[in-house]
Chains A and B, each alone.
Chain A
Amino acid sequence: MEKRVTFNERWLPYLLVAPQIVVTLVFFFWPSAQMIWQSTLLEDAFGGNTKFVGFDNFVSLFNDSAYFASARLTITFSFLVAAIGLAVSLLLAVMADRVIRGATIYKTFLVWPYAVAPAVAGVLWGFLFNPSVGTVAWLLHNVGIDFNYVTNGNQALLLIVIAAVWNQVSYNFLFFLAGLQSIPRSLIEAAAIDGAGPSRRFWDIIFPLLSPTGFFLLVVNIIYAFFGTFGVVDALTKGGPAKATEILVFKVYNDGFRGQDLGGSSAQSVILMVVVILLTIVQFRFIERRVHY
């Protein structure tokens, strides 16, 4: 879509795009180019010497069982975050859509976790599950479950999933609620007249009509779990215990800054870049379909 009426100026448009283009060139293209170049270099442990090694960094990543462990972990983690997050927020949205009285109040009480920084969310949940003083940990201890996310890898993973879902639930809820409210009432009324009960109406009408929203949210949640949860992990577990929560984006940071393995870290970044590009393409193709819907 293009404007019919435009202005004729020679230099003004360049002046107008200049700030954004300059920022993009300096802080996006330059580092990205460096990253791709860096991924083909091998730097010796003391800095100083670098040499071009082609795809060696990628080859050694693909031969590295630690990298595969991290990749598998990331997939498990994002599956859990997306599945639990979507299920919980769909339930809440359907219930909120049902009640007429109080719906806006419930909405107000559910939207604000989005505003809490992931790192702060990590600290809050870490406090609740703190092995020595945490309220929930204490309750669990009293019913015979020893919850110690500092030493138990699976429990650490569970805790970052909980914190990440909590942080994202408002977002999913708002989109599901908007999706529900855009379903024509006449369809639901027609089904009711034909004798379909609430659960039949949900599964046969509401759920299919909501599937575009659900698919869109699925992609958004996967992107969030892959890249947006760095703060949660860093505040809660720092990838531990024993790398049980070292998701890929955290490994990039860990290897690059702590381990000073610039080549390996850059190669990991390049792989993640490919993942984002694929996810973005999926998202855009889908959005085009949603417009037709």
Chain B
Amino acid sequence: MVENRPFLTVLSHLVMILGVVIVAFPVWMTFVASTHDQATMLRAPIPLLPGTHLIENYRQVLTAGYNQGNGGIPILTTLMNSLIMALGVAIGKIAISIIAAFAVVYFRFPLRMVFFWAIFVTLMLPVEVRIVPTYGVVAALGMLNSYAGLIIPIIASATATFLFRQFFLSVPDELTEASRVDGASPMRFFWDILLPMSRTSIAALFVIQFIYGWNQYLWPLLITTKESFYTIVMNVSRQANVADAAPQWNLLMAMAMLAMLPPVLVVIFMQRQFVRGLVETEK
């Protein structure tokens, strides 16, 4: 700091602590609610400190599910579906974008710029906006209620392709020349030189896309009608809005905790890659 102003420093800490408390409060209350029994959750004021039913509640939602309205499915199944979707989206996006960027940067071929712009314009129309016709296409292809239907339609991404293109452009030409002199094929160059060099970009992108895939809501809501394909995020919101019934808050909140935990842990433990990913995907 430029000068010592104890009052301002204390004020800064106070503001930060207040900010952190407000930001964390909803999650704290969610956690607290997930540790009480059903009866405690029926009358206001609900306690501010955790209760004793933590294991029981989580065991019930994980194995038996939250059954209200429609028959409950074990949350373990929805967690698995979310994991498959998140990994599928993250890996799929990275895989198809990195090879497309490789082609656009390292080759000269007719229609190159047409392809580049075709990828670019996908930025212009978020999936929420073209949801009705995209649903029609997926239905026509018979991809409703399938992992392919959950994953493939949302893996086309201009941002990932741009990120890799930007990175490849910064790779020194000498490396390409050297491997050509040594007689390496383009794919050999890609696997042995480019891919290892892209490790940090891939990690950063993976974190962002994992969260993106895990948190998908509208898409799985529309294309899954079979419970065995439900993802956790859509299931939480679905159960919160069952008509004509007050939710069993303790179980619902245990589910919400489980829905938040994986992506939040990814952000906290991979914070460096996360921040890098956020900044880079915005370029």
**Residues of A with Cβ closer than 8 Å to B?**
1, 3-7, 9-10, 12-14, 16-17, 19-21, 23-32, 34-35, 38, 88, 91-92, 95-96, 98-100, 102, 106-128, 132-135, 137-138, 141, 166, 169, 171, 174-175, 178, 185, 188-189, 192, 198, 201, 216, 220, 227-228, 230-231, 234-235, 238, 249, 252-253, 256-257, 262, 265-266, 269, 272-273, 276-277, 280, 287
Contact = CB atoms under 8 A, between A and B. Distances in A.
Given A20-B97, A269-B129, A99 B44 contact: no
Contacts of A121: 26
A235 B241 contact: yes
Q: Is the interface of B mostly helix, strand, loop or mixed?
A: helix
B103 A17 contact: yes
A123 B24 contact: no
Interface string B120-136: 00111110111111111
Given A30-B133, A174-B275, A231-B237, 11 more contacts: A7-B106, A12-B186, A109-B23, A116-B264, A117-B215, A117-B259, A120-B260, A135-B46, A138-B45, A174-B279, A235-B237
Contacts of A9: 107, 186
Given A118-B217, A231-B217, A276 B26 contact: no
B46 A16 contact: no
B169 interface: yes
A160 B135 CA distance: 26
A24 B119 contact: yes
A264 to B, nearest CB: 11
A287 B283 contact: yes
Contacts of A23: 96, 152-153, 155-156
Contacts of A132: 44, 246
Given A110-B19, A126-B240, A252 B217 contact: no
Most chain A CB neighbours (cut-off 10 Å) among B105, B168, B215: B215
A133 B130 contact: no
Nearest to B158: A24
B233 A119 contact: yes
Contacts of A112: 264, 267-268
Contacts of A230: 128, 217-218
Interface stretch (B6-14, B61-69, B71-79, B196-204): B6-14
Contacts of B33: 127
B27 A3 contact: no
B3 to A, nearest CB: 6
A100 B107 contact: no
B211 interface: yes
Contacts of A192: 2-3
Given A30-B137, A272-B129, A114 B13 contact: no
Given A231-B218, A235-B237, A276 B45 contact: no
B132 A35 contact: yes
A30 B259 CA distance: 33
A123 B29 CA distance: 12
B23 A110 contact: yes
B19 A252 contact: no
Q: Using C-beta atoms within 8 Å of the partner chain, give the interface range for chain B.
A: 35 or more
Contacts of B236: 119-120, 123
Nearest to B104: A17
A115 B124 contact: no
Nearest to A21: B115
A257 B133 CA distance: 11
B109 A34 contact: no
A134 B26 CA distance: 11
A51 B187 CA distance: 51
Given A21-B115, A269-B129, A110 B233 contact: no
A220 B159 CA distance: 14
Interface string B75-116: 000000000000000000001110110111111110010010
A182 B5 CA distance: 22
B102 A109 contact: no
B214 to A, nearest CB: 7
A280 B123 contact: yes
B100 A169 contact: no
Contact of A133 (B43, B119, B177): B43
Interface string B255-269: 010011001101110
Contacts of A114: 211, 267, 278
B260 A98 contact: no
26 contacts: A3-B106, A4-B173, A5-B176, A7-B186, A12-B103, A12-B107, A12-B186, A13-B109, A19-B96, A23-B156, A24-B118, A27-B156, A92-B19, A98-B8, A106-B16, A110-B23, A116-B263, A119-B215, A127-B252, A174-B279, A175-B279, A227-B126, A235-B241, A252-B132, A266-B132, A269-B129
